[in-house]
Structure 1
Amino acid sequence: MPFNQRAPVDTHQVAHIYFEEFFMTDMMVLKTQQWLNKTYKGRYNFGSVTEDGATGWETINALIRALQIELGITQTVNNFGPGTTSRFKSRWPSGIAQQAAGAKDTSNVYAIIQGALWCKGYSVGSAEITTHFYGGTGAAIKKMKADMGIGGDSHVDVLTMKSLLSMDQFKLLVRHGANSSVRNIQQTLNGKYRTYTGIIPADGLYGRQMNTALIQVLQKLEGYSPSQATGNFGAGTRKNLKTVSSSSSGEWVWLASAALVCNRKAVQVTSTWDNSMANAVKSFQKDYALPVTGVVDTTTWMSLLTSKGNPDRVAKACDCATVLSARQAKDLKNAGYTHVGRYLTGTVGKERRSKALNIDEIKNITATGLSVFPIYQDGGYYSDYFSYAGQGNIDGLTAIGAAKALGFPRGTTIYFAVDFDAYEFQIDKLILPYFKRIKAAFNSAENSKAYKVGIYGPRLVCSKVTEAGYASYSFVADMSTGFSGNLGYPIPRNWAFDQFHEFTFHSSPAFPLDKDAYSGRDKATKTFDKVPYKSAHSLEYDNAFRLIDAAKKAFVQAVLEPLNLFEQLSTIHWRFDQKIPLNTFNGRDVTIVTSMVASVGIGTTSSNPNAIDIKVNNDGTLTAGTRSAISSASAKFKVKDLGTNLDFSQRITSIAASIKGGNISTSLTSSGPTNFTGSITVTSPELAPKGSGLSEHVTVTLSYEVTFHPHTSPDFHLPEVSVDGALVGVAVVALAVLFVAGAVASGGTAIPAEGALLEGLAGLAVL
């Protein structure tokens, strides 16, 4: 699974934590925002800041622009860069000093400092933003410096000012799993090494900035100057490494123990080599599948401070996108490899060369005694791939089918790829829902061999997916050392394979190969189940149709889930073009039978002229036009004696947001004064993969057959309805069907036995 070269992530991106305790509305932050707009709005390139009382980059950047204006910079930017630094040092060579009590001179810079302190959570002792720098502001600066670990007076030098005008935090973030020992290390780095590292967060969380700072300290110990100590672990840094052992003491031991604390292998730092230190080193080496030497050697240093570690170290596992010949498989075995990762489906390169494992290749591999761990990746190189949550169903079902066809035995772990540097907000919004759908597919009747879900990706992605309960093992993408999801994160506890180096493996012919460390957790597959033989071409053909079939099933799920009806379907074997009963509700006054027909090959446009086309923005949200169409159509219908559509529009919007394409139409038919059927019909967009030459669609029709019981009233009739081109069977269908059936399916409230039926239905609308 080779990566292309990737640039380091912008340091202004939030790497691994949302400081939500600082995002809440705060009166003094609001006053800071109001002061900024009053003072600078319309000046130079300041723009404005939202007045919402929430600390975030928008407010911090506004404070930076304000400072730049005060420094005479007319083209302000959201960055405290070299130009701002130079002008600050020129204006205040010794830093900004606290005013004497009662001093009359004022400065907007003092107000900027106050606003930044409030955004950091430090009180300046005043209920207003002022243009003075008195004792309250000075005390807040001292408190922040103490939290940083630098101590000292209330002077604000350029490093302190940079820290003020950042999202860095200096209080222990206990709610986010902060570690006091990590914070002590951070404070030591700030107090002793800041000429090399600058001031880093002192929040107790091991992250990108701290990892870089540890490398800069290493470079200092190796003799580099502050300007030479970039924090990049290159060939020079490796060459000058010193082995730390029982004969060592001082800063080298301190740094090694600090790295062990950050990697969860030591409790506290030490400058003296002792038994605890020796045991921590051995434990780290064992857990990372390194040679257990008991000393901090080159390989250990590199694994402590970079994700990929020493690329020259021996590996037992590997993975590749090459369909292996008998000769290539044998050469891998002879080179010392015991496990090889191979793709279940797909192609690679512009020439679309197959990378898919096939039955002949399995024979080549197993004949040598190699074990195979399967990888599924037909995308996943960018965030948009994960924007449709149904993609998880598609990939999960496709992978299960492909693994069965190849004979992977019961309990095999299949690794699904997240092959880009996902930030935490992308993991939460896109990746976790994707794996939730994969997990649902693996929990369905389709997974008759009880295959397990594995995750391939950067360390943070693997850890979060695992913690959510969606993956059994991790295949870690550690080659990309610049990934924000790798820098500053320990390896996931459940790691099975750790990809750390790509090179050309010499065989006949030579081919690209990734070296993977092997933990032994996933034994992989050495013996395959007997399956009917199919050629590579036939398997590729089957996989294409399997993917389409999975896409159709995922679309059905996307329609049913917003109505709380999918659980019933996920536990049974069902077929297209067949009426499937989903739920029956028997109440005192009414019976509602819910069923579904999912038809294939219907086309892309409903015959209903009032059908609404579903369109989405680039970020996957519904367009304003689609939302407006749903709202307008929903508002047209009226139910006499009830006079409301309740949250009907919200339910249709939920379906539209789930399917992200196609269209929705509805109908209402009556077969008597107490019987009617309401239907919602949802038609998919094109489901066939681009370039496949195929055209595939699926139409899901949900029918709600409603029967009012004769004892309700001898002269009972349906309420008078005005459709007027309405979106759906309005009347009681919108009320009873969408809400009662959905509520019953999810264990909601039953219709009350006493009282008017419509009042009971109205009461259910909150569900």
Structure 2
Amino acid sequence: MPHHPVRVSRRALLVAAGAGAGVLLAGRAHAAGPPPTGGAAAPPPFDDMVLRAQRWLNATYAGRVNWKPVPEDGRTGQPTVEALVRALQYEVGLDPTQVNGNFGPTTFRLVTERIGMLAAGKPANVIKIAQCGLYCKGYPGEGVSGAWGSETGRSVGALRRDMGLAEPRSTLAPTEFRALLTMDAYQLLAGGAAAVRAVQQWLNRRYAAQPWYRIVACDGYAYRPSLAMLVSAVQRELGIAEPTGAVNAATRAALHQRPPIAVGQADGGAAGFVQLFLASLIFSRYDVPFGATFTAAAAAQARAFQEFAALPASGTGDAYTWASLLSANGDPGRPAHAADCSTRVTPARAAALRAAGVGVVGRYLTNATEAFNKKIQPGELADLFAAGLRVFPIYQTSADSAPYFTAARGRADGAAAVAAARGYGFRSDTVIYFAVDFDVFDHQITDGVVPYFTAVRAAVDAAGAPYRVGVYGVRHACSRLAAAGLTVSSFVADTAYGYTGNIGYPLPANWAFDQFANDVTVGTGDGAIDIDRNAASGRDPGQAAVDPPAAG
């Protein structure tokens, strides 16, 4: 199942700043995951001052090139935030044909050069834009006056404290102005974790002055931008000149060159590796004390993560653990004890897999089209079992977009999978993994994937419940289906590490296989075979035998 990780923009949450307590999961996790993405969020409450800001924007900039009228509904949302950015772009002299509502590098440069530190005496309309932004964030003010009075200064000071910035100041630097004109919240949101928020504030405080850094939300949710800045901070501490915010080969190589973080190690001088490692554990929902020293309690939580993720359980901050905390696919070079493939496993290939340390192999029950023969071939299971390999079956035709997932399709797929599995002789305790092979958003899980799997389960039950239902997909989809009681096991598509459904979400509690590297060639000559490398948790050992007819 080849995957090509892509960067998928996180849909901005339409939420008002609020407060909420962190939630402990199994005694260690802080929050259930990032806010749901891609779905329709609950609208924020009406605010008279937000309505006033919207009316001012439309009255002031109507008729300008590239102006988009903002809805005058008194509710903060992405259209209002983009309108504030457009207004600022006009005020700093951006070419009107380039005005687009995106606070990008050119806008930031112009704000830095032509406005600088925003305070009393700056252009009135720019101050009004900041005042409107403060109202949209829920901070009080003195109207859309254009005068930088004491109330505006106090609100800016409160905003900066909520961002975690240390310097007491009631003026707005360009980096802070850019952060103001976003949908990010800087107060703890309902369901967010106080420990995650403390890390977000620490990141802002420590790195905000760096040119590569962008101030992150302080809402208690470890979603894409926060994780990207955490990765960038690690890259900067490793000496990587241009942090990218994504774990790459250079990052992994640099991590392997560092000694593991061990009990008693403490940050000193300019280095912050201990705090960054603890921050990574906290972002992954582990309850550790956040500080500059790696304690025995932190080592115990690191070991718990390693055991859960099927990593060597050393209780230290080694390179494999760093990579797995910072990116869904972790280190693709780590040992793999499982694999999946779309080509026949011959005796020579089976021997090559065994030599590479693979003990269980995922193979397809059916073909999507006759043009691509990916299913288990006659006699193949016998060859696999003779080599000491176990097998887990996968059912997938396309399953690569939201329209595929309907109840009708679920009934058909469930029946087809049962028929194929019986044809191969798979026994009744076998888990069949049904694919959700795209970056599915939360509302798509609700609207399509859940009805599909409900129908799959019904079809399996109607056939006498001979098999158990599993899922192949991103972490969020796997966890939601497990929580709904629709699946017993998860085959996680972590090679798609750039998918929104993987970033910021922990491995599902019932994960059995974790696909972390694609298109890897194992063996040579007649034994060469292209596989996807998988970690195995042992929750699904796979099948070591089938009943007749084994040849299918």
| Same fold? TM cut 0.5 | yes
The residue number in structure 2 matching 1:365 is 384
Render the CA deviation track for 1:364-407: whole Å, top value 9, x for unaligned: 21222221111111012233323x44322222222122222222
Q: Per-residue displacement from partner, 1:181-220 (whole Å, max 9, x unpaired)?
A: 1110000000111224320111111111121112111122
Residue 96 of structure 1: how far off its partner (Å) = 0.8
Structure 1 partner of 2:22: none
Over the matched positions of the two proteins, sequence identity in percent amounts to 38
- State the 4+ residue runs in structure 1 displaced beyond 4 angstroms: 11-16, 18-22
The match for 1:524 is: 542
1:156 aligns with 2:178: no
**Rounded Cα–Cα distance in structure 1 between residues aligned with 2:506 and 2:307:** 14
Return the alpha-carbon distance in structure 2 between the equivalents of residues 353 and 365 of structure 1. Answer: 21
Superposed CA RMSD in Å reads 2.3
Contact 1:391/1:434 (<8 A) preserved: yes
User: 3-state SS of the aligned residue for 1:233?
Assistant: coil
Q: Deviations over 1:281-330 (max 9, x none)?
A: 22111111111223212111111211111212111111011122232223
- Find 2:112's aligned residue among 82, 89, 101: 89
Q: Give the aligned residue type for 1:249.
A: A
Paired letter, 2:109: S
Question: In the alignment, which residue of structure 2 is the partner of 1:170?
Answer: 186
Distance 1:460 1:390, change over 3 A: same
Aligned amino acid, residue 239 of structure 1: A
- For the residue of structure 2 that corresponds to 1:197, the secondary structure is coil
Q: Could you say which residue in structure 2 is the equivalent of 1:221?
A: 237
Q: Is the 8 A contact 2:433 2:472 kept in 1?
A: yes
Give 1 or 2: higher strand fraction. Answer: 1
Letter in structure 2 aligned against 1:2: P
Q: Which of 351, 365, 374 in structure 2 is aligned with 1:344?
A: 365
| One of 494, 498, 504 as aligned partner of 2:521 | 504
Alignment partner, residue 49 of structure 1: 70
Distance in structure 2 (CA, Å) of the matches to 1:38 and 1:389: 49
Structure 2 residue 467 is matched with structure 1 residue 451: yes
Matched residues in 2 for 1:533 and 1:474: separation?
A: 27
**Number of equivalenced pairs:** 516
Contact 1:279 1:294 in 2 (8 A): yes
Which residue does the alignment assign to 1:254? 275
**Whole-Å separation in 1 of the counterparts to 2:319 and 2:198:** 26
Work out whether 1:139 is the aligned partner of 2:165. no
Shift, 1:411, TM fit: 2.8
Q: CA offset at residue 483 of structure 1?
A: 1.7
Q: Take 1:439 and 1:141, find their aligned partners in 2: how far apart are those partners?
A: 54
Matched with 2:437 is: 419
Q: Who is 1:70 aligned against?
A: 91
Give the alignment partner of residue 356 of structure 1, picking from 375, 380, 383.
Answer: 375
How far is the alpha carbon of 1:8 from its aligned partner?
2.2
Q: Distance in 2 between matches of 1:147 and 1:21?
A: 24
1:382 — aligned with what? 401
| Helix, strand or coil at the partner of 1:248 | coil
| Matched residue type, 2:454 | K
The secondary structure found in structure 1 opposite 2:449 is: helix
Q: Give the Å deviation of 1:266.
A: 3.0
CA distance in 1, matches of 2:545, 2:75: 58
Q: How does 1:230-241 map to 2 (within 5 A)?
A: 230-241=244-255
Distance 1:437 1:361, change over 3 A: same
State whether structure 2 residue 491 is matched by structure 1 residue 472.
no
Q: CA deviation at 1:62?
A: 1.3
Q: SS of 2:148's equivalent?
A: coil
For 1:371 and 1:437, how far apart are their aligned partners in 2? 28
Structure 2: how far apart are the matches of 1:367 and 1:475? 25
Cα distance in 1 for partners of 2:426, 2:141 equals 65
**Partner SS, residue 504 of structure 1:** strand
- Compute the displacement of 1:487 (Å): 2.1
> In the alignment, is the contact (CA less than 8 A) between 1:411 and 1:449 conserved in 2?
no
- Is 1:244 the counterpart of 2:261? The answer is yes
Specify whether residues 58 and 430 from structure 1 end up closer, same or farther in structure 2 by C-alpha distance, changes over 3 A only.
Answer: farther
TM-score normalized with structure 2 length: 0.88
Output the amino acid matched with 1:219.
Q
Cα distance in 2 for partners of 1:441, 1:143 equals 57
CA distance in 1, matches of 2:131, 2:205: 23
Contact 1:98 1:154 in 2 (8 A): no
| Residue correspondence of structure 1 range 592-607 to structure 2 within 5 A | none
Residues 491-547 of structure 1: CA deviation (Å, up to 9, x unaligned)? 11111100111211225152210111010111221121234865xxxxxxxxxxxxx
What is the SS of the residue equivalent to 2:292? coil
- Distance (whole Å) between structure 1 residues aligned to residue 447 and residue 63 of structure 2: 36
CA distance in 2, matches of 1:8, 1:149: 28
Q: Which residue of 2 aligns with 1:111?
A: 128
Do 1:257 and 1:266's aligned partners in 2 also have CA atoms closer than 8 Å?
A: no
Does the 8 Å CA contact 2:336/2:535 hold for their aligned counterparts?
A: yes
- The change in CA–CA distance for 1:17 and 1:149 in structure 2 (over 3 A counts) is farther
- Choose 1 or 2 for highest CA Rg: 1
Which residue number corresponds to residue 185 of structure 1?
199
Offset of residue 279 of structure 1: 1.3
Once the two structures are superposed, what CA deviation does each residue of 1:141-186 show, in whole Å capped at 9, x if it has no partner?
A: 2211111101432212211111111111111112xx3111111000
The 1:445–1:433 alpha-carbon spacing in structure 2 relative to 1, beyond 3 Å, is: closer
The whole-number CA distance in structure 1 between the counterparts of 2:397 and 2:374 is: 10
Out of 438, 446, 456, the residue aligned to residue 456 of structure 2 is: 438
CA distance in 2, matches of 1:64, 1:344: 52
Distance 1:422 1:272 in 2: 39
Which whole-Å CA distance do the structure 2 matches of 1:42 and 1:434 have between them? 48
- Summarize the Cα distance change of 1:118–1:450 in structure 2 as closer, same or farther, 3 Å threshold: farther
Could you tell me how far apart the structure 2 residues matched to 1:154 and 1:21 are? Answer: 32
Query: Quick one: distance in 2 between partners of 1:431 and 1:262?
Result: 27
Could you list the per-position Cα deviations for residues 403-446 of structure 1 after superposition, in whole angstroms to 9, with x for gaps in the alignment? 2222221132111112222233433333333333323333x422
The equivalences for 1:10-29 within 5 A come to: 10=9, 16-17=35-36, 20=41, 23-29=44-50
Q: Is the 8 A contact 1:285 1:291 kept in 2?
A: yes
Whole-angstrom distance in 2 between the partners of 1:302 and 1:533: 41
Q: Which residue of 2 aligns with 1:271?
A: 292
Equivalences for residues 325-336 of structure 1 within 5 A: 325-336=346-357
- TM-superposed CA distance for 1:247, in Å, is 5.4
1:461 aligns with 2:477: yes
The residue that corresponds to 1:303 in the other structure is 324
TM-score normalised to structure 1 length: 0.64
Name the counterpart of 2:25.
none
Q: Is the 2:288–2:297 contact (alpha carbons within 8 Å) kept by the matching residues of 1?
A: no
Match of residue 38, structure 1, among 59, 69, 91: 59
Secondary structure of 1:280 counterpart: helix
Distance in 2 between residues matched to 1:132 and 1:22, nearest whole Å: 31
Deviations along 1:542-588, one digit per CA (max 9) or x if unpaired, are xxxxxxxxxxxxxxxxxxxxxxxxxxxxxxxxxxxxxxxxxxxxxxx
Alignment check: 8 A CA contact 1:375 1:416 kept: yes
State the alpha-carbon separation in 1 of the partners of residues 412 and 49 from structure 2: 49
Counterparts of 1:522 and 1:215, CA distance in 2:
32
Q: In 2, Cα distance between the equivalents of 1:98 and 1:106?
A: 9
Tell me, yes or no, if structure 1 residue 208 matches structure 2 residue 224: yes
1:318 match: secondary structure: strand
Asked which structure has the greater RCO (Cα within 8 Å, sep 6+), the reply is 2
* Cα distance in structure 2, aligned partners of 1:260 and 1:144: 27
What pairs with 1:476-625 in structure 2 (closer than 5 Å)? 476-502=492-518, 503-507=520-524, 508-531=526-549, 534=552
Question: 1:27 is aligned with what amino acid?
Answer: D
Match of 1:408 among 426, 435, 440: 426
Check the 8 A contact 1:16/1:424 in 2, yes or no. Answer: no
Taking a change above 3 Å as real, the CA distance of residues 42 and 230 of structure 1, as seen in their structure-2 partners, is: same
